[in-house]
Amino acid sequence: MTMQANLPYNIKNPKSIFEYSKGLIGKTLREFVWDGYEPKKGKGSVGQMVENLYFLLETNNYAGADFSEAGMELKCTPLKEGKKEQYLIKERLVCNMINYCDVVNEDFEHSHFYLKCQLMLLLFYLHQANCNNLDLKFIYSVLWQLPEKDLLIIRHDYDVIINKIKQGKAHELSEGDTMYLGACRKGQKGDNLMKQPFSSEGAPRRAFSLKMAYMRTILEYVLASGSKAVTNIKETDLEVVPVKELREHSFEDVMLNRFQPYLGEGFKSLAADLEIDISKNPKNKFAIIANAIATMKGSSNINLSQEFKKAGLTMKTIRVQADGKIKEAMSFENIDYVEIAECDNWFESRLYEIFSSRFMFVIFKEQNKGEGDFILDDVFFWTMPQSDLIFAENYWNHIRQNVLNGHIHEEYWWKGRDKKKFHVRPKAQKAEELSPTIDGKGAKKFCYWFNNDYVREIVNNRQLELNNE
DNA sequence: GCATGATCATGC
DNA sequence: GCATGATCATGC
């Protein structure tokens, strides 16, 4: 392949490469293959074959960007089809392996991640199980330059990861530590652990990646644009923190600072100050108040903001009674029986994504027992520790086995009293409502729950941390 | 008084 | 009408 002099695009110009990429959309590589081409196998081979067959380039192993003269990286990434025939993101976008010993000496500007991913040509293809790479269909082409604002957040994420390695805690890294850039698990369970520079403990292999939630919002913007090939995508969701604030402070600090002036204030007084009408005593009044403070806009839901969505970050309120107990357990999404039946890998499951994501907990604490005089007491970011994720995997297996056996009924689930940190309970507007199952019959709607004792454990651990400071 | 089944409230 | 966050309300 020495055809580079006559390439049908300008290899130094990202726009030209992007324009040329449109010719692959709606097609498969089979239309471009030539006699004698040896198809590549294994993961990552799709990208190589696109380079060879469509862009007429030889595969390089150079650590810089694929289109180095254009400063642009080619990324082929799979979509899957959802129940309603919509496209869904299948995987996080993995960039490069983290070499714990080297990476502590690289600042962000010189990192492989930054050099490769600041400007990317994303080619989305439809994943098909057991399908020859030549027959994969390409769906969308996106020229994605990480916006300044996202880069500010990603740079902070990078520092969080590096600092954890510098503290000798590479083995404790978690995707939930960060917002957009995650240190995701890579490789199989039995793989050898890697060396880390500041601890003798081995750490699982991890890679820098853009998280599922981040990729999902890119796809959302593409879909909203109504076009199959897009660049400079417009973000339409609520913006919580403007870029100029992020130049000075981390996203989390901005959030915490917004709550600072209100700490210690009772919820009724807060509602009055924030001009929120709680005369009808709505069930979610604490969430309404927290949203108003966090967004600085009365009725906005911060969980739907661009930053929270891209980060897979969720704000939740917790009420602590005067005696320290937590009255209510914490609910999550309804169980998608089709998803859990079809997904046999814990790390790729929806539950793993929910439980390993990052949370912003807003704590309201009762002052006098039984009086319901809750004050805004504390706000903090939290991620489930690795040790609890092991319990969560058992929980997932328990649910999955029951779903596969058709045991979708109260008597089969873990209960709160089982003291296993998590349980399963109904959640629906009406108890008769059904949710789809693989056998087509449908089943009662249940959802994932944290036990109230587990929520208490989270709050207590936070208190211990504060006391140690 | 607690655990669990059930439903509310909101926003899109 | 539904997903999601949150809390109610009943029976033991």
> Among the listed ranges A8-12, A185-189, A311-315, which one has the minimum average pLDDT value?
A185-189
pLDDT band at A297 (very low <50, low <70, confident <90, very high): confident
Average pLDDT of the residues in A309-333? 92
A81 touches A32 (CB < 8 A): no
Q: What is the identity of the amino acid at A282?
A: P
Model confidence pLDDT, tens digit, residues A118-158: 999 999 999 988 889 999 999 999 999 999 999 999 999 99
- Give residue A1's pLDDT: 44
Average pLDDT of the residues in A209-220? 91
- Cβ of A315 < 7 Å from strand C? yes
- Cβ of A304 < 7 Å from strand B? yes
Residue A153, judged by CB atoms within 10 A of its CB (0-12, 13-18, 19+), counts as buried
C1' (B6) to CA (A130) span, angstroms: 44
Query: Over pLDDT 90: what percentage of chain A?
Result: 66
Q: In the 3-class helix/strand/coil scheme, how is A111-130 assigned residue by residue?
A: CHHHHHHCEEEEEEEECCCC
Euclidean distance between CA atoms A307 and A52, whole angstroms = 37
Q: Which nucleotides of C are covered by protein (CB under 7 A)?
A: 2-8
- Cβ of A86 < 7 Å from strand C? no
DSSP string, A181-245: EEEEE-S-TTSPPEEETTEEEEE--EEEEE-HHHHHHHHHHHHHHT-SEEESPPP-SPPSS-HHH
Could you identify the residue whose CA is nearest to the C1' atom of nucleotide C6?
A: A284
A127 touches A78 (CB < 8 A): yes
Q: Which nucleotides of B are covered by protein (CB under 7 A)?
A: 2-12
- Cβ of A386 < 7 Å from strand C? no
Q: Is the pLDDT of residue A3 over 60?
A: no
Model confidence pLDDT, tens digit, residues A25-64: 999 999 999 999 988 877 778 999 999 999 998 876 555 5
For strand B, list residues 227-266 of chain A whose Cβ lies within 7 Å of it. Answer: none
- Cβ of A53 < 7 Å from strand C? no
- Give residue A83's pLDDT: 67
Q: Is the pLDDT of residue A233 over 80?
A: no
Q: Which CA distances in Å does A272 have to A253, A277, A292, A376?
A: 26, 8, 12, 14
A426 CA: nearest nucleotide by C1'? B5
> Among the listed ranges A14-23, A30-39, A84-93, A430-439, which one has the minimum average pLDDT value?
A84-93
Euclidean distance between CA atoms A25 and A15, whole angstroms = 16
Rounded to two decimals, the pTM is 0.90
Average pLDDT of the residues in A324-343? 92
All residues at 6 or more sequence positions from A276 whose CB lies less than 8 Å from its CB, including other chains: A270, A285, A288, A289, A292, A298
CA nearest neighbour of A294 among A246, A241, A365: A241
pLDDT band at A88 (very low <50, low <70, confident <90, very high): confident
A452 CA: nearest nucleotide by C1'? B3
CA nearest neighbour of A231 among A127, A111, A147, A110: A147
- Give residue A2's pLDDT: 44
pLDDT band at A94 (very low <50, low <70, confident <90, very high): very high
The end-to-end CA distance of chain A, in Å, is 62
Query: Residue A448: enclosing H or E segment and its boundaries?
Result: strand A446-450
- Cβ of A350 < 7 Å from strand C? no
pLDDT band at A247 (very low <50, low <70, confident <90, very high): very high
Sheet containing A119-126: which strands, arranged edge to edge? A87-89, A73-81, A119-126, A138-145, A229-231
**Of A444 and A234, more confident:** A444
All residues at 6 or more sequence positions from A457 whose CB lies less than 8 Å from its CB, including other chains: A421
Model confidence pLDDT, tens digit, residues A370-426: 888 899 999 999 999 989 999 999 999 999 999 999 999 999 999 999 999 999 999
Average pLDDT of the residues in A201-212? 94
A328 CA: nearest nucleotide by C1'? C7
For strand C, list residues 395-434 of chain A whose Cβ lies within 7 Å of it. Answer: 427-429
Q: Across chain A, what does the average pLDDT equal?
A: 90
Strand-pairing partners, residue A318, are A363
All residues at 6 or more sequence positions from A425 whose CB lies less than 8 Å from its CB, including other chains: A329, A331, A413, A416, A446, A447, A449
- Cβ of A408 < 7 Å from strand B? no
Q: Is the pLDDT of residue A4 over 70?
A: no
